[in-house]
Amino acid sequence: MPELPEVEITARRLTSTLAGAEVESALATGVATLKTYDPQLDRLAGGRIEGVRRIGKMLAVDIDAGEPLTLLVHLMSAGRLQVFDRRASLRDRRSRLLVRIADGRELRLREFGTRQSAWAKLLRRDDVGADEMVATLGPDAFPPPPLETFAELVRQPRHLHPLLRDQRVIAGIGRSWVDEILWQARLSPFKKGSELDDEEVERLHDALPLLGEVIDHYEEVIGESVPDKLPMPLEVHRREGEPCPRCGTTIEAVFFAEHQTNYCPEEQTGGRVLKDRRLSRLLK
């Protein structure tokens, strides 16, 4: 699940390999992957890739095609945007969007699993900021917003786990890193933002730079291209049954229909083990 650090390293690596490359053609192979029709994808032919930026959890491929255009890509939960030396077979079921480079390479949006939820929009550069997915984003989680701004954002009567993953509140955090941030801050995923005292807000704010440390980690361990599976340095997420790296207490999990949250009961929930919803998940 690509979140802020994974999307950031992807943007950096794509920029270093693609900046200046000429587009030969582009083709959307996924069902309804391309959400826009003006400008048409054909406009990219002959254009030059300027670079790739991260906007929240989205990637923005800037292409000069006579006019400045941007291919905005959301990887959703299982998408990858990668460069391949050879072109994909059109039978590749994972392909969603192909941008063929004049030198024979190909920038390919692929998606693992059966669902087709990753999407792309081709926009005029000036219109990117007004796109609903961009315009509604909260400030980036890294670098963190000032403490006062952050305090205003999180003091809402909502559980911290969904609150911090809400891109309109703060951008870049998803199901993996939210667990790590809450563990770092020693806060329960089920505590409400409005229940935090000043010291707890500060602890939560102080945990955000871990996203930057993860980017630094990727910079060190990832080579020229980003692999399908990133070496995510997770301490608690998906580590139920293992000892907490800080205090040794067994890490617990709460399972939901499509995700799970992990926490250290000793340090985050006052010693309480929260109700496991796995049974209701299996009965669905």
Size of residue set near Zn ion by CB under 5 A: 7
- Cβ closer to Zn ion: 19 or 247? 247
Show the site string, 258-277: x = touches Zn ion by CB under 5 A, - = not.
------x-xx----------
Residue type, position 154, single letter: V
- Cβ closer to Zn ion: 127 or 235? 235
For strand 58-64 and strand 79-84, is the pairing parallel, antiparallel, or unpaired? unpaired
**Tokens read off for 190:** 């089920």
Show the site string, 127-166: x = touches Zn ion by CB under 5 A, - = not.
----------------------------------------
**Tokens read off for 59:** 């990637």
Q: Which residue is nearest to Zn ion (CB)?
A: 244
- Cβ closer to Zn ion: 152 or 242? 242
> Closest distance between Zn ion and the C-beta of residue 152, in Å?
29
- Cβ closer to Zn ion: 156 or 250? 250
Helix 210-221 × helix 177-184 angle, to 10°? 130
Task: Report the alpha-carbon distance of residue 249 to residue 252 in Å, rounded.
Answer: 9
> Closest distance between Zn ion and the C-beta of residue 267, in Å?
4
- Cβ closer to Zn ion: 29 or 269? 269
Distances (CA, A) of 194 to 19, 150, 151, 157: 45, 12, 10, 5
**Tokens read off for 53:** 């930026």
**Tokens read off for 229:** 């599976």
> Closest distance between Zn ion and the C-beta of residue 190, in Å?
17
> Closest distance between Zn ion and the C-beta of residue 179, in Å?
13
Distances (CA, A) of 56 to 49, 69, 138, 169, 242: 20, 19, 9, 11, 31
Tell me the torsion sign for CA atoms 150, 156, 161, 164. negative
- Cβ closer to Zn ion: 202 or 267? 267
Tell me the torsion sign for CA atoms 160, 161, 166, 167. positive
> Closest distance between Zn ion and the C-beta of residue 263, in Å?
9
Show the site string, 192-231: x = touches Zn ion by CB under 5 A, - = not.
----------------------------------------
- Cβ closer to Zn ion: 29 or 184? 184
> Closest distance between Zn ion and the C-beta of residue 246, in Å?
5
- Cβ closer to Zn ion: 73 or 244? 244
- Footprint of Zn ion on residues 164-183 (CB under 5 A)? none
> Closest distance between Zn ion and the C-beta of residue 278, in Å?
22
Query: Residue 258: is it exposed, middle or buried by C-beta count within 10 angstroms (0-12/13-18/19+)?
Result: exposed
Do 86 and 36 meet the contact criterion of CB atoms below 8 Å apart? no
Neighbouring CB atoms inside 10 A of 29's CB total: 19
- Footprint of Zn ion on residues 225-254 (CB under 5 A)? 244, 246-247, 249
> Closest distance between Zn ion and the C-beta of residue 271, in Å?
11
Which residues are at the interface with Zn ion (CB under 5 A)?
244, 246-247, 249, 264, 266-267
